């Protein structure tokens, strides 16, 4: 799912790839491009494809996804 995730008090994120798995697989309405994390749960899996951004992906982004409640990054 290519989309943006927003939560009040936390900046918006746009992971390269994200998935809802298991019980959450159908929680987001099809075609939603901006997901309000105050209404919906965070994705179960987020993937960032690192090239020149590896240090940021392993540091600040990892912590941001943890703050959002993403289970696997």
pLDDT for 45 equals: 95
Total of domains in the chain: 1
Which residue segment(s) compose the domain that 59 sits in? 4-68
What's the number of CA atoms in the CB half-sphere (13 Å) around residue 28? Answer: 25
**Residue 56 within any structural domain of the chain:** yes
Q: Mind listing the pLDDT tens digit for each residue in 8-56? A: 888 889 999 999 999 999 999 988 999 999 999 999 999 988 877 777 7
**Residue 73 within any structural domain of the chain:** no
Q: What is the pTM of this model?
A: 0.82
Alpha-carbon distance 61 to 21, whole Å?
Answer: 21
């Amino acid at each position: 799912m290519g989309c943006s995730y927003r939560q009040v008090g936390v900046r918006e994120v746009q992971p390269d790839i994200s998935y809802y798995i298991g019980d959450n697989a159908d929680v987001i309405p099809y075609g939603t491009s901006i997901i309000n994390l105050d209404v919906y749960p965070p994705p179960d899996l987020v993937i960032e494809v690192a090239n020149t951004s590896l240090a940021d992906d392993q540091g600040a982004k990892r912590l941001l996804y943890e703050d959002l409640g993403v289970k696997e990054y």
